[in-house]
Amino acid sequence: MNPPLVGNIPSEMKDRRQWVAWKYETRKGKLTKTPKDPATGGNADPTDPATWASIQEALIRMDNDKLDGIGFVFSESDPFTGIDLDKCLDPETGVLEPWARRWVDLLKSYTEITPSGTGLHIIVKGRKPDGFTHCRKGHIEVYDGDRFFTFTGKVFNADGD
């Protein structure tokens, strides 16, 4: 894993103490991204701010423990919502699936390539509507709290893929 391109991450997010490090781990035969507490190195909890820290602390933990990356935890105290578009990008050619292109074009917001190279994370300001409880539909997930997204800083160039 290459280090995240921190300079590309929106400053408004970098300034918040909502960062964790993360590591690939296998659970029940499936590879998953486990959030790690930057202060202790133990598991972080996306519902417990005591296990989050600054982006600098998350980067230090990532380096010291040779973890796979850093992530931002969405909470009710921030204005951000994350949209995760899975399996939409060809990592060899950079070609984006038409259904994902519609989301990128519609939202016109910070968009980066996920660690796998096959998905996108779009960050917008806003909240899910009240009563909107389902976070996943097909290859799209939407979260505005109690969840973390990995951050690579590899900005997706919507105009030149």
**Angstrom distance (rounded) from CA 96 to CA 65:** 34
Position 73 scores a pLDDT of 98
Catalytic residue among 86, 97, 139, 146: 86
Residues 6+ apart with CB under 8 A from 18: 49, 52, 72, 73, 74, 75, 78
Residue 122 host element (H or E): strand 120-125
Is residue 78 part of the annotated active site? The answer reads no
Catalytic residue among 57, 112, 141, 144: 141
Backbone angles phi, psi at 9, to 5 degrees: -70, 135
Is residue 86 part of the annotated active site? The answer reads yes
Residue-by-residue pLDDT tens, the chain, 161 positions:
689 999 999 999 999 999 999 999 999 999 999 999 999 999 999 999 999 999 999 999 999 999 999 999 999 999 999 999 999 999 999 999 999 999 999 999 999 999 999 999 999 999 988 777 678 889 999 999 999 999 999 999 876 54
Length of the chain: 161
CA dihedral 110, 112, 118, 119 (to 10 degrees): -40
pTM of the complete model: 0.94
Catalytic residue among 68, 84, 112, 144: 84
Is residue 141 part of the annotated active site? The answer reads yes
Structure tokens at 95: 């070609």
